[in-house]
Amino acid sequence: MIRRIAAEGLGTALLLISVIGSGIMGESLADGNIAIALLANAIATGCMLYVIITTLGPISGAHFNPAVSLAFAMRGQLRWEDVPGYLIAQVVGAVLGVWAAHIMFDLPVLQLSGTMHRTGSAQWFSEGVATFGLLMVIFGGLRARPEAVPTLVALYITGAYWFTSSTSFANPAVTLARGFSDTFAGINPGHVPGFILAQIVAVAIAHFVLRGLFGPD
């Protein structure tokens, strides 16, 4: 269990390093072109997802996401007594990843996002769609081609950066941690609860829909 929690914490930290770091780098090099900055952000995140799912998946299952851990627990594929350890590791790892990215780019370690406003029904709905889609990709991939799951998740998130108005956070730990970064990939802390609520609702909906879709024939 200690190895599994360590893997979840490390993987989530690396995920946030890629999200925040590539956002900072992309924005600094894009010369005001937000599309180029978002493209850099999406590609770096997708690449990191492939790496951490492939390398750490055999240890912990490579959730790196409280929504995914809850979905696995609801399906009986993760013990409920293990869920708190996973969630704490993911949240702590996410915040440490944000701080590590700040240090790498010589920014103040402790900060709150005051400029990136992400709220409203369209973005909340986008987060629900993004989270539902992520769970569909994971459970559908596990049933059809388990070895392809790292590629499927990486491709899905890379694309979802662009086809959702919220840029597809789809992860409560990521959402919370990005509130602690006043950079390109940040989110106003006051807007975090709306995102997380939409993500959790999507988990509940996905549980019933995907259980019927990908359950035993």
Domain ranges of the chain: 2-214
Q: Give per-residue pLDDT as tens, 131-172.
A: 999 999 999 999 999 999 999 999 999 999 999 999 999 999
What is d(CA 95, CA 203) in angstroms, rounded to the nearest whole number? 23
Say which CATH architecture domain 2-214 belongs to: Up-down Bundle (1.20)
Q: Taking the mean position of all CA atoms in its chain, how far away is CA 118?
A: 16
Q: What is the pTM of this model?
A: 0.95
Q: Give per-residue pLDDT as tens, 66-124.
A: 999 999 999 999 999 999 999 999 999 999 999 999 999 999 999 998 888 899 999 99
Q: Are 172 and 66 in contact (CB under 8 A)?
A: yes
Name every residue whose Cβ is closer than 8 Å to that of residue 210 and which is 6 or more positions away in sequence.
135, 136, 139, 140
